[in-house]
Structure formats: C-alpha cells, structure tokens
Amino acid sequence: MTVAASGVVAPAWRSVHEGDFHNTVGQWPGRTLLLFGQPGCGACRRAEDVVPAALAGVVQHFVKIDAAAQAALAREFDVFHLPAMHLYIDGRYHAPLHCELTTEALRAAVVRAACAPAAEAP
C-alpha cells in the first residue's frame, strides 16, 4: 500500500501473468491501470513510484507488467515505448493513457478516458 499526500491509501502494484491476464483483469470491478515497463528503465521506476499515490482513490487496481518478461502482452497492447499505461473500467478495456507523470495530468487523463465509451482492446 502507498499513502498519497491526500492521506488516501493506494493499493500496491500487482503482477499478472499473460496466461491469466484477461480472465483476472476482466473480473475486477472499478478502474484498473496497467503499467508496462522494465526493471532497468528509469522512467518506468518513476512511474511505479508516482502513479499509485497520484491516482489513489481514483483507480482501484494497479498492475505492473514487465514488457520483456510478458512480451506477448506487450505485443498485444502495441507497446513500443516505456512506460506505457492502459485503463480498464469494470473489466473492460477503455483506453491508453498518454500524459505526464504528474498528479494533475494523470487524474485528468483517467477522467477523460472514463468519460469516453469503452474502446475495443488492442
């Protein structure tokens, strides 16, 4: 668990294997943020530190996916730069998130994505 500046506790990062990804994430209620990264990526480590606290109370589930170890998922989501973020809402794919790693930008990106209809998964 991570505690945001607001005092809201954010869930810890979860790992999901590509073999059970769709079944697992597809059953979670609320908002789920996927973060594709790699251990040696400095921007990815920063995202791992910043995102849960920035989105505490807005996103219920945080999933960290090692793009090298879970290459099939990275290909499925057309990941070609790291870190890459995607949003699921109530088990349905919604949208990729493209924004700066600031609280304001992250929250605005999630709100924009949530206001749009669900998209077809990549």
Confidence of residue 10 (pLDDT cuts 50, 70, 90): low
- pLDDT above 90: percentage of residues in the chain: 80
Alpha helices in 1-122 (DSSP H): 21-25, 42-54, 71-76, 103-115
Structure tokens that stand for 103 in this block: 């609280």
Residue 9 pLDDT greater than 90, yes or no? no
Confidence of residue 8 (pLDDT cuts 50, 70, 90): low
The mean predicted confidence, pLDDT, of the chain is 91
- pLDDT above 70: percentage of residues in the chain: 92
Tens of pLDDT, residues 44-92: 999 999 999 999 999 999 999 999 999 999 999 999 999 999 999 999 9
The C-alpha atoms of residue 43 and residue 98 are separated, in whole angstroms, by 14
The C-alpha atoms of residue 38 and residue 65 are separated, in whole angstroms, by 8
Report the pLDDT value the prediction gives residue 122, as an integer from 0 to 100: 83
The count of C-alpha atoms lying within 13 angstroms of the C-alpha of 34, restricted to the half-sphere facing its C-beta, is 32
Element (H, E) at 63: strand 61-66
Structure tokens that stand for 90 in this block: 């109530």
3-state secondary structure of 88: strand
Report the pLDDT value the prediction gives residue 11, as an integer from 0 to 100: 77
